[in-house]
Amino acid sequence: MTTKTLRTAGGLSVRYAPRGALSVLGLFVLTLAGAVVLVGTGDFPMTPGEVVDTLLGRGTLVQEFAVMEIRLPRVLVAVLVGAALAVGGAVFQSISRNPLGSPDVIGFGQGATVGALTVIVLFQGSAAAAAGGAVVGGLVTGAAIYLLAWKKGVHGYRLVLVGIGAAAMLTSVIHYLITKANLVDATRATVWMTGSLDGRDWAQFWPLLTVCCVLLPLVLGHGRALRMLEMGDDAAYALGVKVERTRILLMASAVLLVAVATSAAGPIVFVSLSAPQLARRLTRTPGPNLGASALMGAVLLLAADWLATNAFGERQLPVGVVTGILGGCYLLWLLVTERKAGRI
């Protein structure tokens, strides 16, 4: 990895990796371009120029309604959900020091799903109540897995193994709740479990934006400490990191990010698994690559939503189906790669 130092007239200096910086810039441009293209996609197609003009207040009344009321909130929710899932995945993969240490593999996504289904099936709650149940379910699951994995600290492989066991148990609870539901609630639950951006509006966007504005900067600000944690607890202690407090703070932030993203769009799988790994391979920079991971997650979800909307003719698929197919292929490739490298 090649690094350079940028010095200012005031005597400050900042080290950066040119490839990493260019990768982040490229992902940011891709996110903007993907968002504009997706806003212009639909039954009332618009060119990128028309989308930009409408966003600047120069569109027709029909264009303004289509963009501002229907498509823009959906696209913004996709960007934030992708970023939140990816950062949550990057945190857990760094803490566990395992590429399989992803929230949707070690049970946090399933916990959020159980919380939402409990509200839907047992209490016939509204969409807002189901979203709140998803957040509570994710947080409770995160706390339970942390406590079960604790033994003089939290070892990465122990966290992954406990999480996989919890995911299996929670999946059984999900199936049980579905069998207890009446036809209407079972249909609602099944649709929600698929993971979809259909019908997402400003009501989902603003709470998601609030949480992301608080937690994403908090996690990004602990990027150096997270990189030290990847080296092991002893090395992190020696470098001045307050290991357990930092780990709890980052895990709680990651669980809340995943839970809120799940409450907004349902359990969209494999983004938190694949985005951090793809970001690392793109930047070729050690460490969690949190900024690149967030943008990669946004790009992946925008691309998956475009495929779900346009790649299957008139039959539009939920975005969770597309991420499941692509993510499953990626997981198989990752397992083969890790096995060949002798890490599993």
- DSSP structure class, residue 15: E
Could you give phi then psi for residue 34, rounded to 5 degrees? -65, -40
What's the mean per-residue pLDDT of the chain?
Answer: 82
Interacting residues of 272 by C-beta distance below 8 A, sequence separation 6+: 85, 86, 88, 89, 92, 102, 103, 104, 109, 258, 297
The HSE-up count of residue 99 (CA atoms within 13 Å, CB side) is 21
Taking alpha carbons only, the member of 264, 206, 251 closest to residue 88 is 251
- pLDDT score of 32: 93
Beta-strand pair 4-7/13-16: antiparallel
Report the C-alpha gap between 42 and 199 in whole angstroms.
13
Report the C-alpha gap between 296 and 298 in whole angstroms.
5
Can you tell me the mean pLDDT for 93-114? 81
Report the C-alpha gap between 129 and 134 in whole angstroms.
9
pLDDT, tens digit (0-9, with 9 covering 90-100), for 321-340: 888 888 778 778 777 776 77
pLDDT, tens digit (0-9, with 9 covering 90-100), for 129-173: 888 888 888 888 888 888 887 776 666 677 778 888 888 888 898
Place of tokens 């070729």: 284
C-alpha distances (whole Å) from 192 to each of 24, 51, 86, 140, 320 are 32, 30, 20, 20, 10
What distance, in Å, lies between the first and last C-alpha atoms of the chain?
26
Q: Which bin fits 314, alpha (ψ -120 to 50), beta or left (φ > 0)?
A: alpha
DSSP symbols for 211-238: HHHHHHHHHHHTHHHHHHHTT-HHHHHH
Strand segments, DSSP code E, in the chain are 4-7, 13-16
Confidence check: pLDDT of 10 > 70: no
Taking alpha carbons only, the member of 303, 261, 255 closest to residue 278 is 303
Interacting residues of 248 by C-beta distance below 8 A, sequence separation 6+: 146
Longest Cα pair distance anywhere in the chain, in angstroms? 69
Report the C-alpha gap between 208 and 211 in whole angstroms.
5
Tokens standing for 340?
């060949």
DSSP symbols for 130-159: HHHHHHHHHHHHHHHHHHHHBSSSB-HHHH
Confidence check: pLDDT of 176 > 60: yes
15 pLDDT band, cuts 50/70/90, is low
- pLDDT score of 81: 94
Asked whether the beta carbons of 269 and 323 are under 8 A apart, the reply is yes
Confidence check: pLDDT of 300 > 80: yes
Asked whether the beta carbons of 330 and 95 are under 8 A apart, the reply is no
pLDDT, tens digit (0-9, with 9 covering 90-100), for 302-312: 999 888 888 77
